C-alpha cells in the first residue's frame, strides 16, 4: 500500500487510508514485510534525498536517469524533538514533532511517539525507528495513515 | 538602475474588520498612499498586489489584484498578483522597485492586504498552515511554531539565551504597540504576564506569538525626480533584496549560516550602508524569540549577544538601535500579506519624523526592514531586506 490520495473513497469508520502525496513511503501489506521511506540517490555523487528528487541538488545533471530510487534506513537519530500545544485542525495537541537524521545523510521531519515522552527526554542523539500509524484526521474525519518515528 | 523613492505610504490599523473586505481595506490605503505622495490615481503606471491567503479564505483566486483595484477605478495598466507567505507585500514592493529602477515606469503602486478573520478560526489557521511544504511537513504535523520553537531552543543551548530575555522582547513590542494607534494590541504587558501566558511550544508562550488579523498597507514608489516635486527630502531605497531559501539538508544546515545573515551582508554591500549606520529597524518577530537571533543576523550585535542587547535595553525606542518601534508583529499585528509594506511604512514615518509618541530621537537617517515568509526545508521560503534612507 503506497501512500496516495484515496480519501475520497473512504467513509468514517472504514479502513484508514492515507491522504498524502504518493511515493513518500511504502507500508507493509503483510507481517513479513517492513515499511520504508522512499528516497533517491544520485549515481554521480552518491547524495541521498528524501522525498525522492528528479535532479540532484549538487550535480544538477540534466539526465534524470542519474537518479535512482532507494529505500531509506528505518532507524535514525533524533536531531530535534519538541512538544507543540497548538496545531491546525486534524491534529490532537499536545503532540511531539522532530527531525530525524538517517544514516544516509537525510533529515526527515516526523511526528514522534514513544513511552513517557516529554520535552526533557527528546534530546538530540536518541535513537528513533520509523513506524506506520495514524498521523491525523482529514477534514471528513477519516484517519490519515503515514510514517512516524518511535523514540526508543 | 536608477534611484527610487518611497513617495507615499499608508496603512490601516491592524485588527479585526468583520464589516470590511479586501476591497474596502485596500481602497483606504491606496488613496492614503497616493495622497501622501501627492500623485493622482491616473499617474499610476504599474501595480503589484500582494495577498497571501484570500484564495483559501474567500475563494477569490487568480485575479485578486484586478478585483481589488477595480474598487478605486484602476485598470488598463500592468497588474501582477503576488504571494510569498509572510513576505508577500515586501515582494510586491520589490517588484515595484524593479519596475521604477529599471526605467520601465515612473510611478508604481505596491499593495499588501489580508483578511484572516472570517468567522471561522479553524479555516484561518488551516490557510496559514499552507505557507510550508504541505506534502512532507504540513500534512505531517509541522508548523511555523515547531520551527521557531526549535530555533529558540537551539539559541538557548548554544548561547545561554534565556526565556526571560525572550519574554522581554514581547514586553518591548507591546510597550511600543501601546504608543502606536495603528497597532492591533495597544496594551502593555509585564514579563510575568508573558511567561505565565498559555504555553504554545516551549519556550514560546501565547504572548510571544503574532496574532491573526486583518489590514492593508500601500506604498507609492516613484523616480526621485517625481518625489522631489512633492518634498525636499525624499525617502529613497538604498537596497531592495529578495531571496528564496537555499536547498539545505542535515549535512549543511549547521554550516551554511543563517539565510538572513547572508541577505543582510548582500544588502550592506549593495547599499554601502552598514549595521552601524542604522537608526531604526523593523524585523520579522512572528514569534518573539526570533527577534534575538535576527539582531545577530543583521549584525546589530555579535553572534550570541542578542539576549544581552535586550537586557541592556539597546533595542528600545530610547536605545542605541531601536527595533520594532511599531510594536512588531506581536503587538502591531500580522495580517500576512500586509505585513511587509506596513513595516516599510513604519520606517518611512520614522525617517520623516511622523511616528508620534514612538518617534526615535534624533530623527533617524537610515532604516532597515527584514521580512521573512513561509518555510521550506528548514529556512524561510522567502526573505526580503529593504534599506531606506533620507
Half-sphere exposure of B67 (CA within 13 A, CB side): 18
Question: Does residue A122 sit within a domain?
Answer: yes
Per-residue pLDDT, averaged over A36-58, amounts to 95
Is B126 at the interface with chain A, CB within 8 A? yes
- Give the orientation angle of helix B259-271 with respect to helix B288-297, to 10 degrees: 50
Q: Is residue A116's pLDDT more than 50?
A: yes
What are the backbone angles phi and psi of residue A31, rounded to the nearest 5°? -70, -15
B265 and B363 belong to one structural domain: yes
Taking CB atoms and an 8 Å cutoff, what residues of chain A touch B125? 88-89
B171 and B261 belong to one structural domain: yes
Question: Cell 482529514 appears where?
Answer: A138
CA B373 to chain centroid: 9
B86 and B228 belong to one structural domain: yes
CA B70 → CA A141, B26, B64, B65, B123, distances in Å? 40, 11, 10, 8, 27
B351 and B313 belong to one structural domain: yes
Is B125 close to A89, i.e. CB distance below 8 A?
A: yes
Is B252 at the interface with chain A, CB within 8 A? no
Question: Does residue B217 sit within a domain?
Answer: yes
Quote the minimal CA–CA distance from B100 to chain A in Å.
35
Total number of domains constituting chain A: 1
B229: left (phi over 0), alpha (psi -120 to 50) or beta: alpha
Question: Does residue B112 sit within a domain?
Answer: yes
Q: Is residue A4's pLDDT more than 50?
A: no
B253 and B168 belong to one structural domain: yes
Per-residue pLDDT, averaged over B152-169, amounts to 96
pLDDT tier at A33, thresholds 50, 70, 90: confident
B232 and B246 belong to one structural domain: no
CA of B199: which chain A residue's CA is closest?
A85
DSSP, collapsed to helix, strand or coil, labels residue A11 as coil
Quote the minimal CA–CA distance from B125 to chain A in Å.
6
Rounded Cα distance, A110 and B44, in Å: 48
Is B200 close to A86, i.e. CB distance below 8 A?
A: yes
Question: Cell 511555523 appears where?
Answer: B144
| Domain boundary pick from B187, B222, B238 | B238
What are the backbone angles phi and psi of residue B305, rounded to the nearest 5°? -100, 5
On the 0-12 / 13-18 / 19+ scale of CB atoms within 10 A, A9 is: exposed
Radius of gyration of chain B (CA): 19
Question: Cell 512588531 appears where?
Answer: B328
pLDDT tier at A18, thresholds 50, 70, 90: very low
Which pairing describes strands B366-376 and B379-389: parallel, antiparallel, or unpaired? Answer: antiparallel
Question: Does residue A40 sit within a domain?
Answer: yes
B183 and B268 belong to one structural domain: yes
Is A87 close to B143, i.e. CB distance below 8 A?
A: yes
Catalytic residue among B86, B96, B105, B301, which?
A: B86
CA B34 → CA B14, B20, B389, distances in Å? 20, 21, 20
Which among B136, B145, B199 is the nearest to A109, CB-wise? B136
Is A84 close to B146, i.e. CB distance below 8 A?
A: yes
How many Cβ atoms from other residues are within 10 Å of residue B231's Cβ? 15
Domain span at A124: 7-151
Domain span at B187: 132-209+239-383
A to B CB pairs, distance under 8 Å: 86
Q: What is the DSSP letter of A51?
A: S
Q: Which of A30, A23, A110 is nearest to A74 (CA)?
A: A110
Is A51 close to B136, i.e. CB distance below 8 A?
A: yes
Please work out, in degrees rounded to the nearest 5, the angle formed at the alpha carbon of residue B251 by the alpha carbons of B250 and B254. Answer: 75
Total number of domains constituting chain B: 2
Question: Does residue A37 sit within a domain?
Answer: yes
Cβ A27 vs Cβ A55: under 8 Å? no
CA dihedral B255, B134, B17, B281 (to 10 degrees): 10
pLDDT tier at B378, thresholds 50, 70, 90: confident
- Cell numbers describing residue B260: 538572513
pLDDT tier at A32, thresholds 50, 70, 90: confident
Q: Is residue A5's pLDDT more than 50?
A: no
Domain CATH number, residue B244: 3.40.47.10
B53 and B85 belong to one structural domain: yes
Catalytic residue among B155, B174, B284, B334, which?
A: B334
Q: Is residue B316's pLDDT more than 60?
A: yes
Is A87 close to B150, i.e. CB distance below 8 A?
A: no
Per-residue pLDDT, averaged over A54-76, amounts to 95
B190 and B89 belong to one structural domain: no
Question: Does residue B185 sit within a domain?
Answer: yes
Question: Does residue B74 sit within a domain?
Answer: yes
B131 is catalytic: no
CA dihedral B117, B129, B181, B175 (to 10 degrees): 130
B183 and B311 belong to one structural domain: yes
Question: Cell 533620507 appears where?
Answer: B390
B86 is catalytic: yes
Cβ A29 vs Cβ A1: under 8 Å? yes
Q: What is the DSSP letter of B268?
A: H
- Interface with chain A: mutation pick from B134, B135, B141, B379, highest number of A CBs within 10 Å: B141
B204 and B231 belong to one structural domain: no
* β strands within B107-185, DSSP E: 107-115
Tell me which residues of chain A have a C-beta less than 8 Å from any C-beta of chain B.
19-21, 24, 49-51, 57, 79-80, 82-89, 91, 95, 97, 99, 101, 105-107, 109-111, 119, 135-136, 144, 146
What are the backbone angles phi and psi of residue A17, rounded to the nearest 5°? -130, 150
Write down the pLDDT at residue B381.
Answer: 94
Question: Does residue B92 sit within a domain?
Answer: yes
Question: Does residue B126 sit within a domain?
Answer: no
CA of A133: which chain B residue's CA is closest?
B140
Cβ B309 vs Cβ B172: under 8 Å? no
Q: Is residue B333's pLDDT more than 50?
A: yes
Is B201 at the interface with chain A, CB within 8 A? yes
Please work out, in degrees rounded to the nearest 5, the angle formed at the alpha carbon of residue B257 by the alpha carbons of B256 and B259. Answer: 100
How many Cβ atoms from other residues are within 10 Å of residue B381's Cβ? 19
Cβ B89 vs Cβ B163: under 8 Å? no
Taking CB atoms and an 8 Å cutoff, what residues of chain B touch A110? 140
Quote the minimal CA–CA distance from B109 to chain A in Å.
34
Write down the pLDDT at residue B251.
Answer: 62
Containing B22, the helix (H) or strand (E) segment is: helix B22-37
Q: What is the pLDDT of residues B250-294, one digit of tens each?
A: 666 666 779 999 999 999 999 999 999 999 999 999 999 999 999
Rounded Cα distance, B334 and B326, in Å: 12
- Cell numbers describing residue B128: 496559514
DSSP, collapsed to helix, strand or coil, labels residue B249 as coil
Question: Does residue A100 sit within a domain?
Answer: yes
Question: Does residue A36 sit within a domain?
Answer: yes
Q: Which of B111, B97, B100 is nearest to B66 (CA)?
A: B111
Question: Does residue B390 sit within a domain?
Answer: no
Rounded Cα distance, B230 and B165, in Å: 44
pLDDT, chain A, mean? 86
Supply the ipTM of this predicted assembly. Answer: 0.90
Rounded Cα distance, B82 and B64, in Å: 9
Quote the minimal CA–CA distance from A143 to chain B in Å.
12
CA A69 → CA A25, A42, B40, B248, B280, distances in Å? 12, 9, 59, 20, 51
Per-residue pLDDT, averaged over B10-14, amounts to 98
| Domain boundary pick from B221, B238, B255 | B238
Write down the pLDDT at residue A121.
Answer: 93
Is A86 close to B145, i.e. CB distance below 8 A?
A: yes
What does the buried/exposed string (b/e) look like for B147-161 if buried means 16 or more CB atoms within 10 Å of the residue's CB?
A: bbbbbbbebbeebeb
CA of B250: which chain A residue's CA is closest?
A107
Q: Is residue A3's pLDDT more than 50?
A: no
Which among B136, B146, B153 is the nearest to A24, CB-wise? B136
CA of A52: which chain B residue's CA is closest?
B136
- Please identify among residues 318-377 of chain B the ones whose CB lies closer than 8 Å to any CB of chain A: none
Question: Does residue B222 sit within a domain?
Answer: yes
Cβ B76 vs Cβ B192: under 8 Å? no
Rounded Cα distance, B207 and A150, in Å: 32
pLDDT tier at B27, thresholds 50, 70, 90: very high
B45 and B91 belong to one structural domain: yes
Q: Is residue A7's pLDDT more than 50?
A: no
- Interface with chain A: mutation pick from B134, B146, B199, highest number of A CBs within 10 Å: B146
Quote the minimal CA–CA distance from A69 to chain B in Å.
17
Per-residue pLDDT, averaged over B132-149, amounts to 88
Question: Does residue A1 sit within a domain?
Answer: no
Rounded Cα distance, B1 and B210, in Å: 36
Amino acid at each position: 500500500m503506497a501512500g496516495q490520495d484515496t480519501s475520497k473513497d473512504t467513509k468514517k469508520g472504514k479502513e484508514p487510508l492515507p491522504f498524502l502525496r504518493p511515493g513518500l513511503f511504502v507500508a507493509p501489506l503483510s507481517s513479513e514485510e517492513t515499511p520504508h521511506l522512499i528516497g533517491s540517490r544520485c549515481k554521480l555523487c552518491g547524495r541521498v534525498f528524501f522525498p525522492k528528487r528528479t535532479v540532484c541538488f549538487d550535480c544538477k545533471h540534466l539526465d534524470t536517469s542519474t537518479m535512482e530510487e532507494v529505500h531509506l534506513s528505518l532507524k535514525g537519530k533524533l536531531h530535534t524533538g519538541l512538544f507543540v500545544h497548538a496545531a491546525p485542525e486534524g491534529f490532537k495537541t499536545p503532540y511531539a514533532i522532530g527531525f530525524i537524521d538517517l544514516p544516509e545523510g537525510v533529515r526527515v521531519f516526523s511526528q514522534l511517539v514513544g513511552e513517557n515522552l516529554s520535552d526533557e527526554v527528546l534530546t538530540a542523539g536518541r535513537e528513533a525507528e520509523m513506524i506506520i500509524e495514524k498521523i491525523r484526521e482529514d477534514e471528513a474525519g477519516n484517519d490519515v495513515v503515514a510514517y512516524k518515528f518511535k523514540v526508543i | 538602475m536608477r534611484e527610487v523613492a518611497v513617495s507615499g505610504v499608508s496603512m490601516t490599523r491592524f485588527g479585526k474588520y468583520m464589516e470590511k473586505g479586501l476591497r474596502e481595506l485596500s481602497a483606504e490605503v491606496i488613496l492614503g498612499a497616493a495622497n501622501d505622495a501627492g500623485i493622482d490615481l491616473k499617474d499610476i503606471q504599474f501595480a503589484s498586489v500582494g495577498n497571501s491567503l484570500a484564495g483559501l479564505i474567500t475563494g477569490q483566486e487568480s485575479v485578486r489584484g484586478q478585483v481589488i483595484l477595480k474598487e478605486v477605478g484602476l485598470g488598463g495598466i500592468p497588474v501582477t498578483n503576488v504571494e510569498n507567505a509572510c513576505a508577500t507585500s515586501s515582494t510586491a514592493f520589490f517588484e515595484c522597485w524593479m519596475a521604477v529602477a529599471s526605467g520601465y515606469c515612473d510611478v508604481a503602486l505596491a499593495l499588501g492586504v489580508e483578511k484572516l478573520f472570517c468567522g471561522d478560526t479553524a479555516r484561518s489557521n488551516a490557510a496559514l498552515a499552507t505557507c510550508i511544504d504541505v506534502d512532507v511537513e504540513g500534512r505531517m504535523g509541522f508548523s511555523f511554531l515547531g520551527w521557531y520553537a526549535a530555533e529558540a531552543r537551539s539559541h538557548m543551548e548554544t548561547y545561554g539565551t534565556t526565556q526571560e530575555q525572550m519574554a522581554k522582547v514581547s514586553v518591548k513590542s507591546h510597550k511600543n504597540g501601546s504608543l502606536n494607534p495603528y497597532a492591533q494590541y495597544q496594551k502593555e504587558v509585564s514579563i510575568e504576564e508573558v511567561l505565565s501566558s498559555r504555553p504554545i511550544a516551549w519556550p514560546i508562550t501565547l504572548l510571544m506569538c503574532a496574532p491573526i488579523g486583518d489590514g492593508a498597507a500601500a506604498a507609492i514608489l516613484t523616480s526621485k525626480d517625481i518625489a522631489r516635486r512633492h518634498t525636499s527630502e525624499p525617502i529613497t531605497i538604498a537596497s531592495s533584496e529578495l531571496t528564496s531559501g537555499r536547498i539545505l539538508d542535515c549535512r549543511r544546515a549547521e554550516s551554511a549560516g543563517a539565510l538572513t545573515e547572508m541577505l543582510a551582508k548582500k544588502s550592506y554591500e549593495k547599499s554601502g550602508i552598514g549595521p552601524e549606520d542604522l537608526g531604526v529597524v523593523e524585523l520579522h518577530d512572528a514569534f518573539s524569540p526570533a527577534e534575538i537571533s535576527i539582531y545577530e543576523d543583521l549584525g546589530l550585535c555579535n553572534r550570541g549577544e542578542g539576549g544581552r542587547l535586550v537586557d541592556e535595553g539597546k533595542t528600545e525606542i530610547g536605545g542605541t538601535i531601536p527595533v520594532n518601534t511599531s510594536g512588531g508583529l506581536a503587538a502591531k499585528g500580522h495580517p500576512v500579506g500586509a505585513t511587509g509594506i506596513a513595516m516599510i511604512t513604519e520606517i518611512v514615518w520614522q525617517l520623516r519624523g511622523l511616528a508620534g509618541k514612538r518617534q526615535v530621537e534624533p530623527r533617524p537617517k537610515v532604516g532597515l526592514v527584514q521580512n521573512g515568509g513561509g518555510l521550506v526545508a528548514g529556512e524561510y521560503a522567502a526573505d526580503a531586506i529593504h534599506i531606506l534612507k533620507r
